[in-house]
Structure 1
């Protein structure tokens, strides 16, 4: 007989927004399942989770002491996403599958209601470029990354260290955001440039 619950868990792991639409009969197994995942994570890592957060069992969250990860109410982290603190994630934030976030030393801050599409990546650190040293021996710097409220990163979008994206801004699919983005501005390309306004 097919294991519908196992398939349903896999579906939720890659499409977590469905968790918030579950009927009462499905929440009977889904709520304890989530509670177990989140308790185990919080026992091992320096993670703070708000109310009604969803963490896929295949998500990878690493938050050693001094590199805390905070996730606000009603936010979700899908399967195969990787988050390495320090990171502060607001409320109702969507972190879809295969998103990669590394807070470096200065951290990543993501405002409420942001949407990070699949394979988006934010790296809040950089290596030096001294030609007399191997890359692996270069000093690492970190200025941090900040996304305001209601920011949308398209699939495969990258955001580099030091970038601030203003409230309501959008970066298109496959863009590489290397400079600050004004509020309500749409950017695209590599490097990303303004192409419109909301």
Structure 2
């Protein structure tokens, strides 16, 4: 920090704000956009060097997110996406364009993977697990085989805060899942569902 650049003392707070509200990245004033773009370029280059990750153009990836993509568990992120702070992403994951993943979300692709199509919005504290344990009584759960069928989220889907998605679920395009819902079965396109387990309440039309 120097007396010649008073903006520097605010920079760390700006970074913290962007980590938790990353949509603000695209509305930054030019004096902030310069350092923010450099910050993101450096972090994304580091991430792609350390993990099996592909990141598209004009993305914001919080350095406070936890992104793990070892060999065989690739993560692919499209253009104009953001991933907020305290998320945990474990591949395989395929994330389309203009996807928003808000803070404290967990996405674990298991073996089969998670596919998220374009323009999906995932609100804070949502959890998607593309694997499950057996539950036979003959042996403890932790010793049983883990299955993985995968999860597919269609285009323009909105998952509200604290939504859970079970392995094997497919959610049709333009569906909406209300806050605190648990999705255990496939959801039709353009429907609104809520509850635990999530139930149909109306069509978006």
TM-score bucket (shorter structure): over 0.9
Paired residue secondary structure (1:190)? coil
Structure 2 counterpart of 1:111: 117
Unaligned runs of 5+ in 2: 1-5
Task: Please give the alpha-carbon distance, in whole angstroms, between the structure 1 residues aligned to 2:108 and 2:54.
Answer: 17
TM (normalized to structure 1)? 0.98
For residues 48-77 of structure 1, the C-alpha deviation after alignment (integer angstroms, 9 at most, x for no partner) is 000001100101100000100000000000
1:15 to 13, 21, 34: 21
Other-structure match for 1:46: 52
Q: Which has the larger radius of gyration?
A: 2
Equivalent of 1:94 in 77, 93, 100: 100
Residues 151-197 of structure 1: CA deviation (Å, up to 9, x unaligned): 00000000000000000001100000000000000110000010111
Counterpart Cα distance in 1 of 2:178 and 2:126? 10
Take 1:112 and 1:46, find their aligned partners in 2: how far apart are those partners?
Answer: 21
- Cα distance, 1:3 vs structure 2: 2.4
CA distance in 2, matches of 1:196, 1:152: 15
TM-score, normalised with respect to structure 2:
0.95
Could you say what the CA RMSD is over the residues aligned between the two structures, in angstroms?
1.0
Residues 25-45 of structure 1, C-alpha deviation per residue, up to 9 Å, x if partnerless?
A: 111110110011101111110
Equivalent residue, structure 1, for 2:3: none
Hey, what's the Cα distance between the residues in 2 that align with 1:174 and 1:24? 38
> How far apart are the structure 2 equivalents of 1:22 and 1:138?
50
Pairing 1:174-185 to 2, within 5 Å after superposition: 174-185=180-191
CA distance in 1, matches of 2:89, 2:203: 30
CA separation in 1, counterparts of 2:50 and 2:136?
38
For 1:131, the equivalent position in structure 2 comes to 137
Aligned to 1:30: 36
CA distance, structure 2, for counterparts of residue 15 and residue 169 of structure 1:
24
